[in-house]
Amino acid sequence: MTKANSGNFFEDFRVGQTIQHATPRTVTAGDVALYNALFGARFAAQSSDSFAYAIGYPSAPVDDLLVFHIVFGKTVPDISLNAVANLGYADCRFLRAIYPGDTLTAVSEVIGLKENSSRKTGVVYVRSSGFKQDGAKVLEYVRWVMVRKRDEAAGAPGDLVPDLPKVVEPKALGEACPMVVTRHYDFALAGSQHRFGDYAAGEKIDHVDGMTVEEAEHQMATRLYQNTARVHFNQFAQSKDRFGRRLIYGGHVISLARALSFNGLANAFHIAAINGGRHVAPLFAGCTVFAWSQVLDKAELPGRTDVGALRLRTVATKDQPCGDFPYKQDAADHPAVILDLDYWVLMPR
Amino acid sequence: MTKANSGNFFEDFRVGQTIQHATPRTVTAGDVALYNALFGARFAAQSSDSFAYAIGYPSAPVDDLLVFHIVFGKTVPDISLNAVANLGYADCRFLRAIYPGDTLTAVSEVIGLKENSSRKTGVVYVRSSGFKQDGAKVLEYVRWVMVRKRDEAAGAPGDLVPDLPKVVEPKALGEACPMVVTRHYDFALAGSQHRFGDYAAGEKIDHVDGMTVEEAEHQMATRLYQNTARVHFNQFAQSKDRFGRRLIYGGHVISLARALSFNGLANAFHIAAINGGRHVAPLFAGCTVFAWSQVLDKAELPGRTDVGALRLRTVATKDQPCGDFPYKQDAADHPAVILDLDYWVLMPR
Amino acid sequence: MTKANSGNFFEDFRVGQTIQHATPRTVTAGDVALYNALFGARFAAQSSDSFAYAIGYPSAPVDDLLVFHIVFGKTVPDISLNAVANLGYADCRFLRAIYPGDTLTAVSEVIGLKENSSRKTGVVYVRSSGFKQDGAKVLEYVRWVMVRKRDEAAGAPGDLVPDLPKVVEPKALGEACPMVVTRHYDFALAGSQHRFGDYAAGEKIDHVDGMTVEEAEHQMATRLYQNTARVHFNQFAQSKDRFGRRLIYGGHVISLARALSFNGLANAFHIAAINGGRHVAPLFAGCTVFAWSQVLDKAELPGRTDVGALRLRTVATKDQPCGDFPYKQDAADHPAVILDLDYWVLMPR
């Protein structure tokens, strides 16, 4: 029998099953530099040790999404190597700040299974958690993916659709964020004078700038996360696929949209939670990504006067500037929309 | 009113105005590695902690141009987001060596303003300074750019063309360079036996090698510097522009030319000052960059017997080897020339 | 006379000649991150400080092949700038683990010279060694290259073909590997339960996955190693060559094959030696690389019960999945094969 991993198929999963993922990964200043080179993020707390130290971090924390992508990457060989589609995320909470030198590992628990009526595929729900070297949980999220069956005749391994929160409650936000010394938060250095109180629910912000993606860029990003999903790297195989192209990792679009969102949300220095997200359409190299955001809600954090939380919808498009906030069209998704992300950020009050 | 930054227009500037730029940036070993991967620099002092320590640095300093690009990048959102063209540099002096772990910030002072006769644009002169976390000035330079007016009918905000030095005086060179222990300077490890005394004013050197630039490379470089100039990243917008292509950041060409210049100038271990420079023509991905240099002048540094200064003109071309030193042609620029840079380097005596 | 290096030609070499190569290079966490981004390696010991420490390393060692490429890169300006072809490797042994912060230098000794009958070229045999800052030898290997003569009429500088071992003896393996605490080797984190005892001589393993290479990727890799071979970077010159394309550094293929081999050889955590290797055909950007391996032999290491050695042949192909183990065809190389590498890896017993 072969020693190469061909991944799990739908009938290989069981509800309650726990999977320890390979490969432990020490995050370094090198990873941070590559992340900066790929996305051009400009949030001051992640960019500067001095700024971060002044406001209460021991040093610049690693970008939340870089941590997410590394943890996510570890789950791919066990969970989604035979996936047809990544269907959704829920209840993603960032629980600890990560610094260069920390080592990340990941574990997933299967919390739901639902065979599709075709009997060719089924939906696998996992709650994945990232841990650091001292055992502390760093990150937790639920993801569901449509996974192929190896054998259509195989029985369904379970039938349970988990009950998932639509929104992470404000009281669960902020665990990864130290008490911020707002009097030392330099708004000029941060790039904007707009703080929590300046944003209103319903407000829409066009992030103006566009960023074109090259094949080398998304390949380097995804390998950096040790994400092994073949659709991102293997043009030989993809050329026989319906798109004929390598698909760009959905998380690449999330990071591009987050980096673009600096222009209008410069003080949203921390992603505290992701409520949900849809990769509405695939992105291919050569396209230019734009983004806009809407403030869906505002929340105070229990016991904290330093920061408040904005619930944002950030929409990313391809080859379509966002001055008129493209989203829906005739009750369907606007054809240029590629990402619809619902998340909480923290901002100084 | 939108919270996104659309940049300053010509009429927004005032002579004497001081601008604190966002985002503070801690330089790391990761940034250095990326810089190496993008340009293939081989100067020994910047490449090796052991070599640097032996000659008098505490450890390998960060490449001078990487420091320049990071400081420059910070000025873009405030100074040149609405620029039509980057017209020139003057009086650029490197004042402190930077090491991984140092944090850079940037401030610019508006030192000149001159409306163009079209009244559609004007020239903005700024003196930009980079600082490290202890407040020491690291770098200072003057740049002038042609910036669009928001409103043609707006009055000119001033009319002053500053008096700028054509050349940085030798006595102002070397502040960022420790006293070099030349007896510990290993010329075999450095890659050449040619020292200060071996170069003659007027001498021309073909750097021989060529380097082809890819879109992913210049995009990664420019994002690494947090330079937000849209012309480098946004193919969707650029496809409607006169060139139809993304423009490569002029500083990318400077770094390529500097890296190529190792072949012939291996012991020019430090750029002490930039006297001036012209981006003669734009560079696009797919082109191959070549370079040659001429020694314009030689200078001793007051009170220093360890190193001497060479004033160089380095000319970069695209798709044109430099064996016959292309520069001018029929009193105009040679059509292959893209960069004409006048600067001082230090070399062991 | 020009100060630019045009490299040595065949008649410039002498048997017994020793060449100290430029540029000393401090390896950093940034180099490691770039290596990961370029190849997506997933071996646990190189990826995680915690994992490495648990099994006996002080921290995660730098990937063996990254060390090899950096040492190799230094030899290029002196040995192979005028090479027509890289003919082979032998007797490559890894002698010390390298960690971020270590500085590498390289020295080569000419151990053989053989003019070709055409009198236009000759074969140069060098034994190249890498050293770290404390003088310890890190790596040693023999390479032979066909080098052009500057002047066909020049006499042959020597005529000696060295006697080289076909295989590194098992007793010479493992110097760079600490005594591994196998009870702390976590096979779940490492990604596979298969250990030394589970592999049989003759066994073949398809590594399944494919990886497409972009121009920006191999250029960044090769510049990271300060490898100056012009064929990798200069499209202007290459467009006039018989292939019309930039050639990808052969070591890039070795690293891709090694990274792909994780899928089936996850516990082969250390390359102890390279017995020989052939770059069977060139690789160009846009192609997708696949790989398979065969266990050629197994060996115990004298005095060591912690790890055993597998002698592997890893074959890489372009645009050809390896499910049927392509290698030879009608007594010639299979047309899709680009690499045939014979090496020893260590694996926990």
Contacts of B51 in chain C (CB under 8 A): 24, 103
Distance from CA of A266 to the nearest CA of B (A): 9
Q: Do A25 and C48 touch (CB under 8 A)?
A: yes
Q: Which residue has the higher pLDDT, C158 or A194?
A: A194
Nearest-10 crossing angle of helices B250-260, B64-79: 170
Banded pLDDT at C123 (limits 50, 70, 90): very high
Q: What is the pLDDT of residue C136?
A: 98
Contacts of B321 in chain C (CB under 8 A): 236
Model confidence pLDDT, tens digit, residues B150-159: 999 998 888 8
Contacts of B74 in chain A (CB under 8 A): none
Model confidence pLDDT, tens digit, residues B219-255: 999 999 999 998 999 999 999 999 999 999 999 999 9
Amino acid, res. C118: S
Model confidence pLDDT, tens digit, residues B71-90: 999 999 999 999 988 899 99
Q: Do C263 and A30 touch (CB under 8 A)?
A: no
Q: What is the pLDDT of residue A85?
A: 86
Torsion angle in degrees (nearest 10) through CA of C47, C50, C52, C58: 120
ipTM for this prediction:
0.96
Nearest-10 crossing angle of helices B215-224, B29-39: 150
CB count within 10 Å of CB A347 equals: 23
| Residue of chain A minimizing CA distance to C59 | A26
Q: What is the pLDDT of residue A156?
A: 85
Contacts of B33 in chain A (CB under 8 A): 30, 33
Q: In the numeric block, which tokens belong to residue A59?
A: 């040093």
Using CA atoms, how far apart are residues B140 and B129, in angstroms rounded to an integer? 4
Using CA atoms, how far apart are residues C149 and C115, in angstroms rounded to an integer? 9
Distance from CA of C91 to the nearest CA of B (A): 26
Model confidence pLDDT, tens digit, residues A220-253: 999 999 999 989 999 999 999 999 999 999 999 9
Asked whether residue A288 carries a pLDDT value surpassing 60, the answer given is: yes
Asked whether residue C156 carries a pLDDT value surpassing 90, the answer given is: no
Q: Do A189 and B234 touch (CB under 8 A)?
A: no
Banded pLDDT at A90 (limits 50, 70, 90): very high
Task: Write down how long chain C is.
Answer: 349
Banded pLDDT at C1 (limits 50, 70, 90): low
Chain C interface mutation, best of B48, B59, B246, B292, highest count of C Cβ atoms under 10 Å = B48
Using CA atoms, how far apart are residues B121 and B148, in angstroms rounded to an integer? 4
Model confidence pLDDT, tens digit, residues B251-309: 999 999 999 999 999 999 999 999 999 999 999 999 999 999 999 999 999 999 999 99
Contacts of C215 in chain B (CB under 8 A): 212, 214
Model confidence pLDDT, tens digit, residues C54-83: 999 999 999 999 999 999 999 999 999 999
Average pLDDT over residues B30-39: 98
Q: Do A191 and B133 touch (CB under 8 A)?
A: no
Interface residues of A toward C, Cβ cutoff 8 Å, are 2-6, 20, 22-26, 28-31, 33-34, 77, 100-101, 103, 105, 133, 214-216, 219-224, 226, 228, 230, 233-237, 246
DSSP C341: E
| Residue of chain C minimizing CA distance to A38 | C37
Which of A4, A26, A30 is the closest to C30 by Cβ? A30
Share of chain B above pLDDT 70, in %: 100
| Residue of chain B minimizing CA distance to A319 | B236
Contacts of A222 in chain B (CB under 8 A): none
Contacts of B324 in chain C (CB under 8 A): none
Using CA atoms, how far apart are residues A171 and A174, in angstroms rounded to an integer? 8
Consecutive H or E run containing B247? none
Q: What is the pLDDT of residue A1?
A: 55
Q: Do C47 and A24 touch (CB under 8 A)?
A: yes
Q: Do C29 and B31 touch (CB under 8 A)?
A: no
Contacts of C260 in chain A (CB under 8 A): none
Share of chain A above pLDDT 90, in %: 95
Asked whether residue B1 carries a pLDDT value surpassing 80, the answer given is: no
Are A139 and A248 contacting, i.e. CB atoms less than 8 angstroms apart? Answer: no
Amino acid, res. B183: R
Average pLDDT over residues B31-45: 98
- Please list, residue by residue across C140-163, b when 16 or more beta carbons sit within 10 angstroms of its beta carbon and e when fewer do: bbbbbbbbbbeeeeeeebbeeebe
Listing DSSP states for C126-162 in one string gives: EEEEEE-TTS-EEEEEEEEEEEE-S-TTSPPS--B--
Amino acid, res. B196: F
Q: Do A216 and B221 touch (CB under 8 A)?
A: no
Contacts of B188 in chain C (CB under 8 A): 20, 22
SS3 B199: coil
Q: Do C101 and B49 touch (CB under 8 A)?
A: yes
- The size of the B-C interface in CB pairs under 8 A is 143
Q: What is the pLDDT of residue C158?
A: 83
Q: What is the pLDDT of residue C167?
A: 98
CB count within 10 Å of CB A326 equals: 18
Using CA atoms, how far apart are residues A196 and A348, in angstroms rounded to an integer? 6
Q: For chain C, what is the mean pLDDT?
A: 96
* Chain CA centroid to CA C64, Å: 9
Asked whether residue A72 carries a pLDDT value surpassing 70, the answer given is: yes
Using CA atoms, how far apart are residues B275 and B93, in angstroms rounded to an integer? 9
Using CA atoms, how far apart are residues C245 and C287, in angstroms rounded to an integer? 13
| Residue of chain C minimizing CA distance to A1 | C205
Contacts of A33 in chain C (CB under 8 A): 30, 33
Distance from CA of C234 to the nearest CA of B (A): 5
Taking CA atoms, A146 is separated from A80, A92, A120, in Å, by 8, 19, 10
Contacts of B22 in chain A (CB under 8 A): 42, 44, 188-192, 266
Which of A50, A192, A321 is the closest to B133 by Cβ? A50
Which of C33, C216, C228 is the closest to B217 by Cβ? C216
Q: What is the pLDDT of residue A78?
A: 96
Average pLDDT over residues A191-200: 97
Contacts of A228 in chain C (CB under 8 A): 40, 42, 209
Taking CA atoms, A328 is separated from A200, A317, A324, A333, A338, in Å, by 22, 12, 12, 4, 12
Distance from CA of A37 to the nearest CA of B (A): 4
Q: Do C77 and B215 touch (CB under 8 A)?
A: no
Average pLDDT over residues C339-349: 98
Which among B132, B1, B269 has a CA at the least distance from the CA of A192?
Answer: B1
Average pLDDT over residues C132-143: 98
Chain A interface mutation, best of C207, C214, C319, highest count of A Cβ atoms under 10 Å = C214
Q: What is the pLDDT of residue C324?
A: 96
Model confidence pLDDT, tens digit, residues A304-349: 999 999 999 999 999 999 999 999 998 899 999 999 999 999 999 9
| Residue of chain C minimizing CA distance to B323 | C2
Nearest-10 crossing angle of helices B29-39, B64-79: 100
Q: Do C49 and A101 touch (CB under 8 A)?
A: yes
Average pLDDT over residues B169-173: 96
Q: Do A23 and C37 touch (CB under 8 A)?
A: no
Q: In the numeric block, which tokens belong to residue B310?
A: 């060479």
Asked whether residue C40 carries a pLDDT value surpassing 90, the answer given is: yes
Are A28 and C217 contacting, i.e. CB atoms less than 8 angstroms apart? Answer: no
CB count within 10 Å of CB C114 equals: 17
In this structure, what are the phi and psi dihedrals at residue A309, rounded to the nearest 5 degrees?
Answer: -110, 135
Q: What is the pLDDT of residue B85?
A: 85
